[in-house]
Homo-oligomer: A and B are copies of this chain.
Amino acid sequence: MSKNLINWLENLLLWGIIIKLKAMTSFTEENYLKIIYMLTEQNGGNEVSTNELAEITQTKAASVSDMLRKLAEKNLINYRKYQGVTLTKEGQQIALSVIRKHRLWEVFLVDKLGFGWDEIHDIAEQLEHIDSKELTEKLDKFLGSPQFDPHGDPIPDSKGKMPSMASCKLSEVPIDQTVVMVGVLVHSPAFLQHLDKNHITLGSTIKIQEVSEFDKSFTVLLNNNQSVFVSNEVAKNLLVK
């Protein structure tokens, strides 16, 4: 009985079939892991709830429950029923590799192909699942091993280490100070196009000239000497240094 099982396993090993148990995270599973990673960050390391995941994956809570059971079976997440989830070491590794690929491809699309930063998300959403370590590393070299993507988001290195950079929201900067734009907290085309229209881009120098008492909107001076108006809603989503 048990001897039979061992024989059978040996046979599988011989034929290299055991690999399947190791490899194999589907497109869908990768997306869940990536989203769990990002929501955990946002929650300051706290568990992510089923409903949060359902909302962001555009599916129903029931479907999320199914997937969580499956990911837990594969030891990619820590899952206690009704208590939400966090990633295991292994799950985190996969999530970081997907994020690395996503952001490297975004750099490629903007720097090499000339896309605007508002046009690249959906394409990168597909490219992030291309499975080839050699490709990722060669792409990284080709792009000059960038540390940040076109939105200012950090690109993890091949071991999963994130470059860090102190930054704060423009909305928190006091009057008269001069800062540099280093990132955005919202990636919607509408928001990015709004920034384009106001000539605010990654690397722009921003001097805060005036802050309205009434609505906390800003008037700022850019490096091109243009003075532009920035609503508080926008200022809250701009990262500066």
Give the B-binding residues of A (Cβ under 8 A). Answer: 109, 112-115, 119, 122-123, 126-127, 130-132, 134-135, 138-139, 142
Bound-state Cα–Cα, A139 to B112, Å = 9
Q: Is the CB of B123 within 8 A of A130?
A: yes
A and B contact pairs by CB, cutoff 8 A, 18 listed:
A109-B135, A112-B142, A113-B135, A113-B138, A113-B139, A113-B142, A114-B138, A115-B134, A115-B138, A119-B134, A122-B132, A123-B130, A123-B132, A123-B135, A126-B130, A126-B131, A126-B132, A127-B130
Residues in chain B near residue A131, CB distance under 8 A: 126
Residues in chain B near residue A132, CB distance under 8 A: 122-123, 126
Q: How many copies does the complex hold?
A: 2
Residues in chain B near residue A114, CB distance under 8 A: 138
Residues in chain B near residue A122, CB distance under 8 A: 132
Q: How far is the CB of A108 from chain B (nearest CB, A)?
A: 10
Bound-state Cα–Cα, A114 to B139, Å = 10
Bound-state Cα–Cα, A146 to B139, Å = 20
Bound-state Cα–Cα, A109 to B115, Å = 20
Residues in chain B near residue A112, CB distance under 8 A: 142
Bound-state Cα–Cα, A134 to B119, Å = 10
Sorted nearest first, the 8 A-B pairs with minimum C-beta distance are: A113-B138, A123-B132, A126-B130, A123-B135, A113-B142, A112-B142, A127-B130, A114-B138
Residues in chain B near residue A138, CB distance under 8 A: 113-115
Bound-state Cα–Cα, A131 to B112, Å = 19
Q: Which residue of B lies closest to A142 (CB)?
A: B113
Residues in chain B near residue A109, CB distance under 8 A: 135
Bound-state Cα–Cα, A220 to B104, Å = 45
Bound-state Cα–Cα, A61 to B113, Å = 42
Bound-state Cα–Cα, A37 to B203, Å = 49
Given contacts A119-B134, A127-B130, 5 further A-B contacts (CB under 8 A): A112-B142, A113-B135, A114-B138, A123-B132, A123-B135
